[in-house]
Structure 1
Amino acid sequence: MRSVEEMDPISVALAPPQNESPEVRQTRILMERAAKAASDEIDAQLNRERQQAKRLPKAVKILLLGQSESGKSTTLKNFQLMCEPKAFTSERASWRAIIQLNVIRSVRIILDALMAVSATRDFAPTPRSSYSSYASRDSLRPDSELLALRIRLLSVLELEDVLKRRLATPEPECELPPSSVAQISTISTMFRRRTNKEVAVNSSVEWKSAFMRDGVGRQSLDTENGVDWEREDDPGPMLHARCEDMQKLWGHSTVRAILERQGIRLQESPGFFLDELEVVTSLRYAPTDDHILRARLKTLGVSEHRMHLTDPNGAITRELRFFDVGGQRSMRAKWVPYFDDMDAIIFLAPISAFDQTLAEDPSVNRLADSAEIWRSITSNKILEKTNMIIFLNKVDILEVKLASGIRFADHFPNYGRRPNDYDSVSRYIRKHFQAILKQSSPSPRMFYCHLTNVIDTKSTAFVLAGIQDMLMRFHLKESQLIL
């Protein structure tokens, strides 16, 4: 009968080989000692890090919530610009490619809208190009100039696939495991099949390395060195060559009319750069801070971002840990596990979307949806002691809409006959969200509300500085360092 050791698979695996020679045995023993020493060193390093973490102040955990395209990613960039400016600057070369993708996507949306109009009618192109010369809806149709522009801009659309492939398959510094290679292959196939969909990356993928020159890391702050200008598939030269065509397309009166008829508002969308084509398509273009804040890259899943916050006197440093979760309806069920152990929630409500509906459900008004999300999180008992901060965001777009004559009361009848101006509407919305907090909160809490335009770095800096001070005070009070 076999002993317990003989039946134990671990003991069998660790047992020395049979008929082992003295030389092989000596080599094996030396290798085992080296492996154990390495393991012990790793354990000691982990223990030192744990001891050091105990001595450091507790990290401040902040959860960013809001529906899709509410401004969460832009808020994160603003915090990074304030807390980690060197890291922000080092990523300029990567954001150049994303801005190029944004431009190409805008062109694709326009050309798709033109084709949708063409597909509904059987007509020959006309030489007329002025929308004012069309008196009826039926006469809205692409003319010969637009059709010629479309043909010339097809080469620009092909660049989208080039950038998507690079985004899906970043060039690694080391060989990837088979599972990762299979995953990348799947993503690449998805991109090829869904070229008309918005580009999205998984939050766990380090995509920025795909657009950095080999050998240049985050420590480099020079965009000139970060971009491989000589790369054969760099979209820059082609976009520069087609800049005039893209400007003509965007400036064409018929295009503007068709987009308006179809309810497409590119100017209100994140990643809009068509008014700055000459700048963003210039040769050796380097994004500004403003451009990076406005760039749009959709992320899937939950991402964590760590930054360090130092008080004005430089005496106390706190680690800020931001958690950004997807805002699509299908993602909201995944928010709850992150409610526990959060110091603060920053909720973003894009109030300019009062006349828009959800992409996932056209029957739901976007501003009404934001109000319901706010109600659900403020009423959650898990978050009873969590500090709530709300950004009523995109006030710049709200002001433009109201000034253009779009009536808030047409979408929210309870607004009644109040003035249709920015001050009155924003005050009404602010009071509405404040009332929700008062009615829904399990216990009384302060209403920390800011009217924001998070792509405006100057105005947002004041808001974030106030939040920085507030978070510091919250944390110090919790640590009983202040009363």
Structure 2
Amino acid sequence: MPMLRHRHNSQDDDDPLTKALAPPPDETPEQRDLRLQAEREAQLRSEAIDEEINRQRLAEKKEHDCIRILLLGQSESGKSTTLKNFQLFTSPKAFKSERATWRAVVQLNVVRSIHLILDAMEDVKQGHAPPNHDAATGQPIPPVRYPTLTVEHMKLRMRLLPLQRVEELLLRRLSHAGSATFEPNHLVSLEEDQPLQRKEFAVHSSSQWINAFGRLLSAARASFEKESEIDFTDPNDPGVILNACSEDMTKLWHDPIIQQLLRLMRIRLEDMAGFFLDSIDRVTSLHYIPTDDDILRARLKTIGVSEHRFNLNAGNVVSHDWRVFDVGGARSLRAAWAPYFDNMNAIIFLAPISCFDQVLLEDPNVNRLEDSILLWKSVISSPLLKDSEIILFLNKIDILKAKLAAGIQFGQYVISYGNRPNDVEHASNYLKKKFGALHKQYSLKPREFHCHLTTITDVKSTQRILNHVKDMVIRKNLKDSSLV
């Protein structure tokens, strides 16, 4: 036995690894403590690295497994409203917490609608000639004579001039929400000056204006969803001025001569996003807080890509992380769409069919319905989207119904419609068949045509549709994963 032990020790002495790991022969107790401490720290660093590697691996798997939905469509097609519906559907508490912030947006919508009326009155005062042709069809318009505005109308206009200051305050607040100082890149003019058309402003999605604007309202506020947390009597609050002007705004909007003027100028404010003039008394009250419907109807153009993340359970099967992306629909922003086509589970394409009698702001020679059809063809024929589910929302069906009921002839703008009945049922079915035929013709591989007639501002009906979309996407995802 002594000989075996001696031979083993001799081998250990010759092993270079053993020599490297062995403590120094003359190591003091203090040195030993330091060495052991260093070894423990090295072990902790190694474990932290391993943990980070595992975390990244799980994150990559989670990223790969998440369900992605992309919202596409021209500007003002309803993409942002659809995104807000997803937020209301999946995160109602968070949606509620944003109400005080959206109060400023609703106020801005009211002011801008009133200013469009005041601008129309100024055009009449300056003697500007009515348009002599229809921009959407190019057809001549019979000569019209504008009604004469009275002295009372001009006095009313003068009393509402303080709203210009309110608009400036609201725009400045919203633009400041992304930064501590005024940054023009967060407040971008999207359109050129045109008669009877004010520039529309937008906040950049990267400014995270909702959270920042909420903090701006009160630095000490932990939450801003309760009425008691807003100083409704603050003289610097635009709501105070709006409340003082409420009666005059209502009088202006309901004035029969003003209504006649708007009709002759073909200005349909009630068809525009962010229309609240039928609710002036309510939305200009001192203690006004937006409802869910108000937030869905509120209009604030954003530039860039907005993303909403949430988690949904697929019954008793599996839980999924979802991401919904809203990309800008203006012509100048469409080049940014392609990078988001890759790895999308589903596309929700919104075509506002109420816009059959309107032209693009960016190009008055292009009808908006025609633009949606061209966009639809390009999306369904994209090789990157050949495996994605594409759901078509023929949106703003309520506005289409109102326009046709008002006597606007669908066949005058859509020549191929011919002499079919001028009602919403026949017009919407005609468009559904047209979009369906294009889907069949231009899809690179056979796939089912999913189409819904929608009013995205209608919460209940939209929630039912989104629930159907959710189930459809989950079924396809499970099928692709070979789980069903």
Whether TM-score is above 0.5 comes out as yes
**1:200: which partner in 2?**
202
- Please, which runs of 5 or more residues in structure 1 have no aligned partner? 1-35, 123-135
Q: 2:146–2:261: 8 Å Cα contact kept in structure 1? A: no
- SS at the partner of 2:207? coil
Identity across the alignment (%): 47
Residue 157 (structure 1) aligned to one of 154, 157, 164: 164
Distance 1:251 1:42 in 2: 69
**2:397: which partner in 1?**
395
Distance 2:95 2:422 in 1: 39
Counterpart amino acid of 2:56?
A: R
What does 1:176-215 correspond to in 2, within 5 Å?
181=181, 184=183, 196-208=198-210, 209-211=212-214, 212-215=217-220
1:476 offset after TM fit, Å?
A: 1.4
Counterpart amino acid of 1:245?
A: D
Matched, 1:248 2:251: yes
Matched, 1:50 2:56: yes
Matched, 1:114 2:121: yes
Counterpart amino acid of 1:236?
A: G
- SS at the partner of 2:161? helix
Distance 1:237 1:447 in 2: 50
1:276 offset after TM fit, Å?
A: 0.2
What does 1:132-143 correspond to in 2, within 5 Å?
137-143=144-150
**2:353: which partner in 1?**
351
Q: Which has the larger radius of gyration?
A: 2
- SS at the partner of 2:232? coil
1:44 offset after TM fit, Å?
A: 7.0
1:258 offset after TM fit, Å?
A: 1.9
TM-score by length of 2: 0.81
1:390 offset after TM fit, Å?
A: 0.5
Residue 274 (structure 1) aligned to one of 256, 273, 277: 277
Distance 1:354 1:386 in 2: 28
1:228 offset after TM fit, Å?
A: 4.1
Q: 1:63–1:324: 8 Å Cα contact kept in structure 2? A: yes
Distance 2:281 2:362 in 1: 34
Distance 1:171 1:82 in 2: 26
What does 1:285-304 correspond to in 2, within 5 Å?
285-304=288-307
- Output one character per residue of 1:106-125: Cα deviation in whole Å (capped at 9) or x when no partner: 11111111111111169xxx
**2:135: which partner in 1?**
none
- SS at the partner of 2:302? strand
**1:30: which partner in 2?**
none
- Compared with structure 1, are the counterparts of its residues 66 and 139 closer, same or farther at alpha carbon in structure 2 (3 Å cutoff)? closer
TM-score by length of 1: 0.81
- SS at the partner of 1:317? strand
Q: 1:213–1:228: 8 Å Cα contact kept in structure 2? A: no
Residue 175 (structure 2) aligned to one of 151, 154, 168: 168
1:41 offset after TM fit, Å?
A: 10
Distance 1:287 1:398 in 2: 26
1:186 offset after TM fit, Å?
A: 5.9
**2:334: which partner in 1?**
332
- SS at the partner of 1:204? helix
Distance 2:371 2:187 in 1: 34
1:51 offset after TM fit, Å?
A: 4.0
**2:138: which partner in 1?**
none
Distance 1:67 1:466 in 2: 24
**Number of matched pairs:** 422
Q: 1:216–1:225: 8 Å Cα contact kept in structure 2? A: no
Residue 90 (structure 1) aligned to one of 90, 93, 97: 97
1:230 offset after TM fit, Å?
A: 5.1
1:85 offset after TM fit, Å?
A: 0.9
- Please, which runs of 5 or more residues in structure 2 have no aligned partner? 1-41, 130-142
- Output one character per residue of 1:161-219: Cα deviation in whole Å (capped at 9) or x when no partner: 111111111386xxx6xxxx5x726657979x9994222100101212324432334xx
- SS at the partner of 2:65? coil
1:422 offset after TM fit, Å?
A: 1.5
Moved more, 259-268 or 108-117: 259-268
- Compared with structure 1, are the counterparts of its residues 38 and 237 closer, same or farther at alpha carbon in structure 2 (3 Å cutoff)? farther
Distance 2:345 2:287 in 1: 43
**1:216: which partner in 2?**
221
**1:316: which partner in 2?**
318
Residue 104 (structure 1) aligned to one of 99, 111, 128: 111
1:406 offset after TM fit, Å?
A: 1.5
- Output one character per residue of 1:371-426: Cα deviation in whole Å (capped at 9) or x when no partner: 11001111111211111000000011111111222111111121112211211111
Moved more, 328-337 or 84-93: 328-337
1:93 offset after TM fit, Å?
A: 0.6
- Compared with structure 1, are the counterparts of its residues 344 and 151 closer, same or farther at alpha carbon in structure 2 (3 Å cutoff)? same
